[in-house]
Amino acid sequence: MNIVLLGAPGAGKGTQAQKLVEEFGFDHISTGDLLRAAVKAGTELGKEAKGYMDAGKLVPDSVVIGLVKERLGMPEAAAGFILDGFPRNTSQAESLDAELAGMGVSLDAALLVSVEPEVIVERLSSRRTCRTCGYTGTAADETCPRDGGEMYQRDDDEPETIKQRLDVYEESTAPLVGYYRDKGLLREVDGDRSQDEVYADVKTLLGL
């Protein structure tokens, strides 16, 4: 099964993706991870991406799609994949469809993890991160349960910053939801519940 994962920052997409990977062995393809790995490895696409990143510019769709296409051609993706972080808008979705069609591959579902904005602000603003190991916890964690390190609030998790990120997401991704709905691929799940409750519905919606 081939899935595109949609949802605002803090909706819990990553958690659901990990559960699907663990149970069904899908290849979890995060475009952020692909970019970092390509830059680190110094591949042609990685060098091109680094030039844009160093200049503080967005990496062009053509580079990101090139990385995704490379990954989809690997054996790990043959049993099914979850695309996380891409596409981010309808233009990218159309380019992705064209590339997949050229490979003889199609999407089976676009899974939207839906959570109200105020819930996301509350979730993320209470999030704390360990300075030493990167563990993510909550404001209740005064020290890291892993290594005793200091827990701090990332700038990204300040309420005002979260609201700005949600505005950007809403502007670019709302049309994307309509795009996949029109294709009959959209599957929407209420993410404002326990992880296990959400996951049970995810499996039902995907027919797993």
**What residues are labeled active site?**
13, 88, 127, 154, 165
Q: Is 138 marked within a binding site?
A: no
Q: Is 146 marked within a binding site?
A: no
- What strands lie across the sheet with 127-130, from one edge to the other? 136-138, 127-130, 151-152
**Which segments of 25-109 does DSSP mark as H helices, in order?**
31-41, 44-54, 61-72, 90-102
Q: Is 85 marked within a binding site?
A: yes
Q: Is 51 marked within a binding site?
A: no
Q: Is 39 marked within a binding site?
A: no
Q: Is 10 marked within a binding site?
A: yes
Q: Is 58 marked within a binding site?
A: yes
* Packed helices 195-206 and 13-24: angle between N→C axes, nearest 10 degrees: 60
Sign of CA pseudo-dihedral 31, 71, 46, 90: negative
Q: Is 154 marked within a binding site?
A: yes
Q: Is 14 marked within a binding site?
A: yes
Please, are residues 189 and 112 in contact by the beta-carbon 8 Å criterion?
yes
**Is 35 exposed, middle or buried (CB count within 10 Å of its CB: 0-12, 13-18, 19+)?**
buried
Compute the distance between CA of residue 60 and CA of residue 129 in angstroms, rounded to an integer: 30
Q: Is 6 marked within a binding site?
A: no
Q: Which residues are annotated as a binding site?
A: 10-15, 31, 36, 57-59, 85-88, 92, 127, 130, 133, 144, 147, 154, 165, 193
Q: Which residues are annotated as a binding site for AMP?
A: 31, 36, 57-59, 85-88, 92, 154, 165
Q: Which residues are annotated as a binding site for ATP?
A: 10-15, 127, 193
Q: Which residues are annotated as a binding site for Zn(2+)?
A: 130, 133, 144, 147
